[in-house]
């Protein structure tokens, strides 16, 4: 009778342990999804607003028109934010992940293969004080800053108590992935 009772207690404890382990695994999975951009991320951060020069005409323009925001400008901003410790970044509600592409086709800008039009609103979950401090450095985004000043392109950086970034919604393709069979 005592052995049967102990076995029941062991089975019950094993079930409890399995539930605890399952919750821990689920917690780890959610944490990893947030880190790689597959879930909504929110927190303190910044909003950077960038637009074409008032005289710039995107529909009549050719690639490389200095009065327009270029794909390279957006890549530079994303790289600046990443090196400044941003946890998550989005451009016009397109979540930027490690495999995101920011490219141009003529005067059109594609982010994650979605056509984006100005103005560009870049949000980042990050330490806003550190971002502002780094943004003031002369060497940071110097080409963009000089064009902004010369061509009167709107550029603003604002602290946010709460930014909400969407989950990545594009296709994730794996290259050079090998299965262990």
Question: Which class for 75: exposed (0-12), middle (13-18), buried (19 or more C-beta within 10 A)?
Answer: middle
Question: What is the pLDDT tens value at each position of the chain, 181 positions in all?
Answer: 878 888 888 888 888 888 888 787 888 888 888 878 888 999 999 999 999 998 777 776 566 688 899 999 999 999 999 999 999 999 999 999 988 999 988 778 999 989 998 999 999 999 999 999 999 999 999 999 999 999 999 999 999 999 999 999 877 666 655 666 5
Contact 68, 62 (CB under 8 A): no
**Quick one: pLDDT at residue 56?**
77
**Quick one: pLDDT at residue 24?**
79
Return d(Cα 15, Cα 9) in angstroms, integer.
10
**Quick one: pLDDT at residue 57?**
77
Cis before 119 (ω within 30): yes
CA distances from 88 to 57, 58, 107, 177 (A): 31, 29, 27, 25
**Quick one: pLDDT at residue 42?**
92
**Quick one: pLDDT at residue 62?**
61
pTM flag (> 0.75): yes
């Amino acid at each position: 009778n005592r052995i049967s009772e102990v076995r029941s207690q062991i089975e019950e404890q094993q079930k409890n342990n399995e539930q605890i382990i399952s919750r821990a695994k689920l917690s780890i999975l959610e944490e990893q999804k947030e880190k790689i951009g597959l879930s909504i991320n929110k927190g303190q951060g910044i909003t950077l607003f960038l637009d074409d020069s008032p005289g710039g005409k995107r529909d009549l323009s050719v690639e490389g028109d200095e009065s327009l925001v270029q794909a390279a400008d957006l890549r530079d901003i994303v790289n600046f934010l990443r090196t400044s410790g941003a946890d998550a970044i989005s451009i016009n509600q397109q979540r930027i992940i490690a495999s995101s592409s920011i490219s141009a086709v003529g005067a059109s800008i594609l982010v994650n293969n979605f056509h984006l039009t100005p103005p560009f609103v870049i949000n980042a979950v990050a330490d806003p004080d550190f971002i502002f401090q780094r943004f003031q450095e002369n060497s940071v985004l110097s080409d963009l800053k000089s064009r902004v000043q010369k061509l009167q392109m709107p550029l603003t950086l604002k602290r946010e108590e709460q930014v909400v970034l969407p989950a990545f919604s594009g296709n994730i393709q794996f290259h050079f992935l090998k299965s262990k069979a």
